[in-house]
Amino acid sequence: MVAVDIQTPAPHIDEETLIQQEEAAVERIKKAREILGDEVIVLGHHYQRDEVVQFADFQGDSYQLSVEGAKVKAKYIVFAGVHFMAESAVVLGRPDQVVILPNMQAGCSMADMANLEQVLTAWAELEEVLGDDPEQHIMPVTYMNSAANLKGFVGEHGGTVCTSSNANGALNWSFAQREKVFFFPDQHLGRNTGKKMGIPLEQMVLWNPFKPYGGLTDDQIRNAKIILWQGHCSVHQQFRPEHVDLWRNHHPDINVMVHPECMMQVVDKADFVGSTSFIVNKIKNAEPGSKWAVGTEVHLVNRVKNANPDRFVTLLSPFACLCSTMYRISPLDLANVLENLVEGRVINQIFVPEDVQRNAKLALDRMLSIPK
Ligand code: 13P
Ligand code: SF4
């Protein structure tokens, strides 16, 4: 097969035609999948829209998708998720496997908030302040939502990747070896996890990548337990503490459940905090008649609501909190990559340079071996 790295052309069509085309795409996907059989597996993240995720052979949170990705036998992995997830599937997969992202614009704005150059600068500045090799003192931990070369950096320096479902385990593992953690790119997941472990707020300092030494004094760096990168998720930052108060005022018996990418002030007010799969399962196993206000992406919340009609499920925020990059993948994109495979063409293949793969695999394998 020839690897051709092209993107789906943006369709300039009216809404009605687009709906018709998306409906027709469902049939095109079914037909292509029938022809391709076991050669292809589709992995889907919970935030994908129903029209796409209905074709996933496996649906899960980013941790489960890594575990599943590492076990896949099929030659072609079509990843209905975002870029960093597809990169991780490349790293964890076999060299002869091909990972395809149906739309190359499906990225993650949080992952884009940290790049290798900035992290290398930060590491050198930490070295300067702490006086010798930062590896003596600091464990680098990157959230799964980061580029493969950051996972490579972490792997090379003895650190690990974590997800929203195992951040606690990753921090415990880190503190068993080194006195400080450098956590990127999500300040909220880092802070929420550190707080739950009893680390005082003043020992969790914020590193601003646009300022020399992160905008911190030498003393702040020396006294810190966790150095948090100043990054966030633009979807989860829309959930506010006042939304929790509003729901509780109207429904005193409501359960508030949020993703740990929400800010600390929201997490502190919530009854439950967990990964996307934790949220799905918690409501699935809840009592009929129970009430849930959920702080995470709207497609997941709507799907959980539809799947559990005897429970009251609502988005925590009055605004539609949509991950616009996940939304980039449409049924048309899925049909397009699958039909190209039928024709013997690979489009939208995700590549990770070999040296990056080697180090990123160290970090991802560590993540998979650390107890949650
Ligand atoms: P999960 O790891 O909980 O699936 O979250 C991924 C994500 O991108 C949340 O914004
Ligand atoms: Fe990235 Fe936020 Fe979208 Fe998750 S919800 S993929 S963190 S932008």
pLDDT at 10: 55
pLDDT at 23: 86
pLDDT at 4: 43
- The pLDDT tens digits of the residues spanning 277-287 come to 999 999 999 99
3-class DSSP state of 345: strand
Cα separation, 163 vs 143, whole angstroms: 6
Number of H helices, E strands in the chain: 15, 15
Pocket of ligand 2 (CB under 6 A): 82, 108-110, 145, 233-235, 261, 297, 323, 325-326
pLDDT at 19: 83
Whether 2-107+325-354 shares its CATH topology with 111-232 is answered yes
pLDDT at 6: 45
Q: Which residues of the chain have pLDDT under 70?
A: 1-12
The protein residue whose alpha carbon is closest to atom 7 in ligand 2 is 233
The protein residue whose alpha carbon is closest to atom 5 in ligand 2 is 323
pLDDT at 2: 39
Task: Report domain extents, the chain.
Answer: 2-107+325-354, 111-232, 236-315
3-class DSSP state of 65: helix
Beta-carbon contacts of residue 35 (< 8 Å; ≥ 6 apart):
342
Residue among 44, 45, 43, 42 nearest 276 (CA): 45
Q: Which CATH architecture fits 236-315?
A: 3-Layer(aba) Sandwich (3.40)
CATH topology of domain 2-107+325-354: Rossmann fold (3.40.50)
CATH code assigned to 111-232: 3.40.50
108 C-alpha vs ligand 2 centroid, how far in Å?
Answer: 5
- The pLDDT tens digits of the residues spanning 291-305 come to 999 999 999 999 999
